A and B are shown apart, each in its own frame.
Chain A
Amino acid sequence: MNIFLKLLKVDRRFIYIFIAIVVILPLLLKPKFPVVPSKPVKDVYDYIENLPEGSNVMISIDYDAASMPEQQPFLEALLRQLFRNKLKPILIVQWQLGAPLGTMGLEKIAKEMGAVYGVDYINLGYRPGYVAQIVGIGKEIRDYFKVDYRNVPLDSFPMMKNVHNYNDIALLVGLEAGATYLVWIEYAGGRFKQKIALALNAVSAPDAYYFYQSGQIVGLVGGMKGAAEYEVLVGKPDIAVAGMASQSYSHLVIILFIILGNIAYFIEKRTKSKEGGK
């Protein structure tokens, strides 16, 4: 029997194994995979590159575990860039369930880059009531964050001495799984002229593109693809690039199977019509 005809009746499990391999292997091996940064992502990167040393960058964790594959890689790449450029991240959380994720990423990269807590970075944790909070930081951050995530007073940290409101924050980066970013844009951006960059889940990124075009945000990182682009810009391709490799290869595998299936289909059709001719 023709090999292609065998393929026509290929066991579905054969396809499953292929999919599993092309997804898992890149995640394990993290191969070099060509990812070309797009303009909205590069804008975020360049804006941060041009910040003067010692500037404060506020990072808002507005996602939870469900969006971890999309957001966590960007958080890590961003923190690498910040620490490398001696910029000071201030982490706050608007989605309660995201708090452990933010802390995890921050501690991991700080350790890797040798940053010191309270001097080079700080983690303020979660506070309820995000609209009031986002407006309130325009006045005085201590109204909402008197203490950090472990209840240590803010004023005991050297880096927070001169931080009071948006005027002391060079850039706000929102990592967004929902619509919290609209509040950041409306209040922090609209009212207090805070510069904002956003990282959004792939599904909501197209909605926010409008704000990028109108200049209300400096840049936009969309989904795992955006995170992969950022990893390339920062110069340390990591899990998102690997994920994009997984995505690309799995798409390719599916396409290959479709093509093989069709070849088999046509061969079968021809054999059948020949047989019919006899």
Chain B
Amino acid sequence: MAVSTNFWIWIAALLTLAIYSFLYKDNPFYKFAEYLLVGISIGYGISVYWHNTIITKVFNPLVYDKNFLVLIPLILGLLMFSRFFKNVAYLSRIPIAFVVGAGTGLSVPSSFEFLFKQIYATMPLKLDIGSLIIVVGVISTLVYFFFSLEHKGFVGEVSKAGITFIMVAFGAAFGYTIMARVSLFIGRIQFLLSDWLGIIK
């Protein structure tokens, strides 16, 4: 294999190198790649949005299905533009209120489901030392999150145990993830060395 003659591969390779140059320091190559990525991705986003939202979710339902319900989000969306006019700018709070209401409202039952699942998973379905450690770990971690009690005396001791569990968990999760991150770099190097330069087969 030899160096690629494909124009597009060259572009991808040079952009890859431009991003890596950031590891040395901020420089014009990185700036170029950064600004380009932001510009292109937002252009891409707008196109995807046109296709997925305006056409599929607004235009088609309105024109073909005569579904006038979509007029509500349409109006709410347009109210966002009231910000451009000083005397009606307060109207943009309405869509924000709507969206926040929906988000918090939906989160209440889903928090419950999550809560139930977590408690269920903590129940010792088989009796071994692991189950006991899990019960102790979950409870002491929960104690760490007590806000309305001062963490001293017995509560303080338990919450200290909770912090220990949390630290072990963080160390483990950190060490566990390194492999996946190195894999990403290996993938990029393979692209550079094989697709672009043709050094490795």
Contact = CB atoms under 8 A, between A and B. Distances in A.
Interface of A: 13, 16, 19, 23-24, 27-28, 68-70, 108, 202-203, 224, 239, 243, 246-247, 250-251, 254
B186 A69 contact: yes
B178 A246 contact: no
B190 A70 contact: no
Contacts of A69: 183, 186-187, 190
Interface of B: 23-24, 178-180, 182-183, 185-187, 189-190, 193, 199-201
A23 B23 contact: no
A224 B189 contact: no
Main secondary structure of the interface of A (DSSP, over half): helix
B189 A23 contact: yes
5 nearest A-B residue pairs (beta carbon) = A69-B187, A250-B182, A16-B23, A243-B186, A69-B186
A122 to B, nearest CB: 24
A251 B178 CA distance: 8
A246 B24 contact: no
B23 A254 contact: no
A246 B193 CA distance: 15
Residue with the greatest number of chain A CB neighbours at <10 A, chosen from B179, B182, B193, B201 = B182
B180 A202 contact: yes
Contacts of B24: 13
21 contacts: A13-B23, A13-B24, A19-B185, A23-B186, A23-B189, A24-B189, A24-B193, A27-B193, A27-B200, A28-B193, A28-B200, A68-B187, A69-B183, A69-B187, A202-B180, A239-B190, A246-B182, A247-B182, A250-B178, A251-B179, A254-B178
A239 to B, nearest CB: 7
Contact of B183 (A16, A27, A70, A108): A70
B24 to A, nearest CB: 6
Nearest to A22: B182
Main secondary structure of the interface of B (DSSP, over half): helix
A13 B22 CA distance: 10
B182 A23 contact: yes
A254 B177 CA distance: 13
Given A13-B23, A28-B200, A251-B178, A23 B190 contact: no
A246 B180 CA distance: 12
Nearest to B1: A108
A133 to B, nearest CB: 28
B190 to A, nearest CB: 6
Given A13-B23, A13-B24, A16-B23, A246 B200 contact: no
A70 B187 CA distance: 9
A275 B199 CA distance: 55
Contacts of B187: 68-69
Contacts of A19: 182, 185
Nearest to B193: A27
A233 B178 CA distance: 27
Given A24-B193, A27-B186, A69-B190, 12 more contacts: A19-B182, A19-B185, A23-B189, A24-B189, A28-B193, A68-B190, A70-B183, A202-B179, A224-B183, A246-B182, A250-B182, A251-B178
A33 to B, nearest CB: 14
A55 to B, nearest CB: 28
